[in-house]
Structure 1
Amino acid sequence: MTHTLSLRTRIGAVALAGALLAALAVVYTVRATDRNEPTARASNVTIDNTRGLYIRTAGGTVSALDGRRLKETGLTCRRFYASGSSAVCLTTRPGIPPRSEAVVLDRKLHPKRTVTFGGTPNRARVSPSGRMVSWTVFVSGDSYAGNAFSTRSGILDTRTGYLIKNVETLQLTLGKKRYSASDLNYWGITFARDDNRFYATLSTRGKTYLVEGDLNAWTARTLRENVECPSLSPDGTRLAYKKRVREGTSSPWQLHVLDLKTLRDTPLAETRSVDDQAAWLDNRTVAYALPGRTRGSSDVWSVPADGSGEPVRMARDASSPSMNPG
């Protein structure tokens, strides 16, 4: 009898401890979620009144770079991009399992819609008008350098509210034949000015391709191999992208620019490996992030888009560049 009571007592204590831990976990998750709100504090910096380069600083805050001065927006994001009438802030939420959110923002940088999904935020883009918003997350693995990763890309039409959570359902033409496979991965979406045509990277069977997509027809076709993280120029004639030029290393890429009319390829003067989706500052210059001085940090650099010149550092301890021309 004493042994039975002792066993029940121990079981009760374990159950109570488990309940307390669960309660603490809930409290922690709620508080951590509150700390990760994308609009943490008020700011008079908006895409309506502040033109120029927007960057994510070392602490995760988003700021506008005005000459040498940083103007904080009050946002905290894992990835940020602004264009036209909208911006998108990718954030992560703790929990079991953790989740991510794409917070779509208006001209005043106020949230107007939030999309929740699994995975780790990686890429974000907004169309020139601000209507179309896209994001890419890693759902397994955490690097494009190897083959052991999986991505998921989504698109939101902010005008109609239509949400595509996974673009892998596109009717794909590879070469001249319809193609489907279980290992399709899309990432790095970039939009044309018509809010219908887009470009992205497709990966299948160990190869990467540049695809041109048509949202209205819900189709995509491959244009050429070995193109990753494309970024369409403001005039819509060229794509900046990272090209795999060194196999079997952890730093395999070099930035290139592809002329869409001639398909002529130009390597840029940045010879270091850039694992980023470049952003056009204007029709002559692209910006991108590279590892910084300390482990886990990065700096934002720029380089001419015609292969001339040399890289110039624009901001230390920064990433996720996007240009708001005003």
Structure 2
Amino acid sequence: MTFQRRLLIFVTAVVLLAVVGVLAVLRASSRADEKDRAREGGPGIVAGPVVLAPGEGERRIVFRNMAWGPHRDELATVPADAPEGTRTASGVSCLRFHAAAGTGICLRADKGAVPGAVQGGYRAVVLDARLKEVSAHTLAGLPTRARVSPGGHLAAWTVFVGGDSYAGADFSTRTSVLDLRTGRLDASLEDFTVLKDGHPYRSADVNIWGVTFAADERTFYATMATGGRTHLVRGDLAARSVTTLHENVECPSLSPDGTRLVFKKRVPGLPAEAPWRLYAMDLASGAQTPLGEERSVDDQVVWTDDRTVVYSLPGDFGADLYAVAADGSGSPRRLMASALAPAFLG
């Protein structure tokens, strides 16, 4: 046997041993990850198609997956009747998300953007039923709220352009509304005419955020802050106006039947960094009812139906979703771990 042949056999053996070693390490790592996930109660996740169109006879939840791993921040889906089941992850990443009637709005960081960047670092992307990009719009700040109207024709988003929390007074927002039927973009609702206490009102400190749409695809409700107070406003997109209705209302969410709002309300005596409680308001009478959730919720709730709302609270991996009755009865229950920004479809 020649020296070259012996050298070739030796090199081949070394390479094979290295490959076997690497495969053994990867297999052990995979088993360790599976054990860690099982021990931590993490969800099973597989890659696959995610659609926003209503299914045939099956309701689904589409949401931002917060579980650690290769699919973190991707839009994922589970059956609504099995929220802790195996998740199907789409490969589409969003920081904030909402969807209705086959239309989605995804607030995301631009690829290559510097973490924490503001101008030009984020985009609002309109998605079709198969998560394909329909249009994109540069955001002027940090994404915080997103909503699609019940008929899927309108999309709204809110960003922080100064500050990064609703808890204090030192923040500024900008809320935009896009009409997908005409392509018209109202870049800032602060440009709308404001009627406060029945009179025209103008002030440099007006901030409007947290839009929720009515079924007529024209009316909306939102929060307006001015003079150190927050107000519930009813907006009219055709008239380009907002009218104040009640004080101390933030991030309203309109019920599917259009008769009630659930919102977060500042309660005296609570800590400055956690000042809110969830309340429901009957729009006809103005009567307010505290919900069964006693923790401070900094979120815009989502209605699963006319009886229940879902919202996020801090969790081990960023956020968990909880559900509570909208009439003030019962106690909250954890709906999903490691999830954020849900939309209930179907």
- Scaled by the length of structure 1, what TM-score is found? 0.84
Structure 2 partner of 1:302: 323
Is contact 2:167-2:274 (8 Å) kept? yes
How many angstroms does 1:69 deviate by? 2.5
Structure 2 partner of 1:28: none
Structure 1 partner of 2:284: 261
Structure 1 partner of 2:61: 53
Question: Structure 1 CA distance, aligned partners of 2:334 and 2:156?
Answer: 27
Question: Structure 2 CA distance, aligned partners of 1:72 and 1:233?
Answer: 28
Question: Structure 2 CA distance, aligned partners of 1:53 and 1:98?
Answer: 30
The alignment status of 1:312 with 2:324, answered yes or no, reads no
Question: Structure 1 CA distance, aligned partners of 2:243 and 2:301?
Answer: 22
How many angstroms does 1:49 deviate by? 5.4
SS at match of 2:160: strand
Q: How many residues align?
A: 283
- 1:41-84 alpha-carbon deviations (Å, 9 max, x no partner): 98422012553222211121111122123122322000010101
Amino acid at match of 2:305: D
Question: Structure 2 CA distance, aligned partners of 1:236 and 1:288?
Answer: 19
Amino acid at match of 1:181: S
Question: Structure 2 CA distance, aligned partners of 1:284 and 1:90?
Answer: 28
- 1:134-174 alpha-carbon deviations (Å, 9 max, x no partner): 00000110000000000000000011111111110110111
The alignment status of 1:161 with 2:174, answered yes or no, reads no
- Report matched runs for 1:1-20 at 5 Å: none
Is contact 2:265-2:276 (8 Å) kept? yes
Structure 2 partner of 1:105: 127
SS at match of 2:200: strand
SS at match of 2:205: coil
Q: 1:273 aligns with which of 272, 296, 300?
A: 296
Question: Structure 1 CA distance, aligned partners of 2:86 and 2:287?
Answer: 38
Computing the radius of gyration from Cα coordinates, the structure with the larger value is: 2
Question: Structure 2 CA distance, aligned partners of 1:92 and 1:318?
Answer: 18
How many angstroms does 1:109 deviate by? 1.6
Is contact 1:92-1:120 (8 Å) kept? no
Structure 1 partner of 2:342: 321
- Report matched runs for 1:230-245 at 5 Å: 230-245=252-267
Question: Structure 1 CA distance, aligned partners of 2:321 and 2:197?
Answer: 36
Amino acid at match of 1:315: M
Amino acid at match of 2:107: L
Which runs of 5 or more structure 1 residues have no equivalent in the other structure? 1-40
Structure 2 partner of 1:136: 158
Which shows bigger deviation, 43-52 or 100-109? 43-52
Is contact 2:107-2:143 (8 Å) kept? yes
Question: Structure 1 CA distance, aligned partners of 2:285 and 2:162?
Answer: 36
Question: Structure 1 CA distance, aligned partners of 2:278 and 2:86?
Answer: 28
Question: Structure 2 CA distance, aligned partners of 1:238 and 1:109?
Answer: 31
- 1:197-245 alpha-carbon deviations (Å, 9 max, x no partner): 0000000011000000001011110000000000010011101100001
Question: Structure 2 CA distance, aligned partners of 1:49 and 1:155?
Answer: 24
Is contact 1:241-1:256 (8 Å) kept? yes
Question: Structure 2 CA distance, aligned partners of 1:263 and 1:122?
Answer: 27
SS at match of 1:168: helix
Amino acid at match of 1:195: E
Is contact 1:285-1:302 (8 Å) kept? yes
Aligned-residue RMSD, C-alpha: 1.6
- 1:263-304 alpha-carbon deviations (Å, 9 max, x no partner): 11010000000000000000000000001135xx11000000
Amino acid at match of 1:47: L
Q: What's the % identity of the aligned pairs?
A: 45
- Scaled by the length of structure 2, what TM-score is found? 0.79
Structure 1 partner of 2:24: none
How many angstroms does 1:181 deviate by? 0.3
Amino acid at match of 2:90: T
Question: Structure 2 CA distance, aligned partners of 1:236 and 1:242?
Answer: 18
Is contact 1:55-1:64 (8 Å) kept? yes
How many angstroms does 1:105 deviate by? 0.7
The alignment status of 1:72 with 2:93, answered yes or no, reads no
Question: Structure 1 CA distance, aligned partners of 2:252 and 2:54?
Answer: 28
The alignment status of 1:117 with 2:139, answered yes or no, reads yes
SS at match of 1:145: coil
Amino acid at match of 1:60: D
